[in-house]
Amino acid sequence: MQPLQGKRILVTRGQSQARSFIDRIEAEGGGVYHTPLLSFQLNDSESHQEVLKRLHDYSWVFITSANGVKFFFELLKKYKVKVPPTLKFSIIGSKTEKRLKGFGIKADFIPSKYHASSMGKEFLARYPQPGPILYIRGNRSRDALPRMFDDKGVFFHSMTVYDTLLVEEKKAQLLAWIQERKIDALTFTSPSTVRAFVSMVEKKGLEIPCFCIGPTTAKEAEKCGFTNVHVPEQFTITHMLKQMTYYFSNEGKR
């Protein structure tokens, strides 16, 4: 019998990001309830154009998500700005790295662990005087890196290149699934998806096993009141799925 046989897993990622995750869950015998909780749109302003025109003044660009890469390069294309050859890129995660490579750029720094605090500590240990940094973010991004830069006296500029929005039309369907006890496990890949879920289901379903891709997301889940939170040792979709299969093969048996 497959480890997820008969289990119904909620996947909250967007359609394009969710497909491979859904396929893997189904390959393990699980059933998938898929509903994107968030959508993303370009955040543009006149100030962005001014920053991009001075891109050569920066030594590093920090990007912590694939969406950050996508919308940053969308702005570059819109304003016909080329990446200076001297500009270096610091990023988090394999998906962000893959998205960056899609634009023909190889990351110059990737931390050993996929979360912002490790990124900042490891980066500044290697580059104690990095020069000016351009920090690319979404409107709901955490402030861990900006706080660290401030504490260390590192010059940086934050640029919000995308906005994260709740997909409100999914609320009724999601609430019905939770109330009818159709979901055996929840999966979250960012703190913002955790917050979106909680706001949509009115704090119901917090006892359902909750699998988070990393410690930042898990911390947010615990803060929001989830009582059965799990996070893999390596912060990837593959390891999150492995942890889920282990859970339902052992302690999560019914």
Mean local confidence (pLDDT), 133-144: 91
Mean local confidence (pLDDT), 51-61: 97
pLDDT, position 77: 96
pLDDT, position 150: 93
Q: How confident is the model at residue 161 (pLDDT cuts 50, 70, 90)?
A: very high
Euclidean distance between CA atoms 127 and 142, whole angstroms = 22
Q: Return the structure tokens found at 8.
A: 């119904």
pLDDT, position 85: 95
pLDDT, position 202: 84
pLDDT, position 179: 92
Q: What is the mean pLDDT of the chain?
A: 92
Mean local confidence (pLDDT), 87-91: 97
Mean local confidence (pLDDT), 16-26: 88
Question: Which residues lie below 8 Å from residue 94, measured CB to CB, with a gap of 6+?
Answer: 236
Euclidean distance between CA atoms 9 and 76, whole angstroms = 38
Is the model's pLDDT at 15 over the cut of 80? no
The total of other beta-carbon atoms located within 10 Å of residue 91's CB is 26
pLDDT, position 142: 80
Measured between alpha carbons, how far is residue 153 from residues 122, 137, 142, 210 in Å?
16, 20, 19, 38
Euclidean distance between CA atoms 140 and 191, whole angstroms = 9
Mean local confidence (pLDDT), 224-243: 92
Mean local confidence (pLDDT), 90-111: 93
Mean local confidence (pLDDT), 63-79: 95
CA angle 188, 191, 197 (to 5 degrees): 60
pLDDT, position 253: 55
pTM of the predicted structure, to 2 decimals = 0.79
User: β-strands 185-188, 38-42: how paired?
Assistant: unpaired
Mean local confidence (pLDDT), 89-93: 92
Q: Return the structure tokens found at 4.
A: 């997820």
- Residue bearing tokens 């570059």: 76
pLDDT, position 254: 46
Is the model's pLDDT at 190 over the cut of 90? no
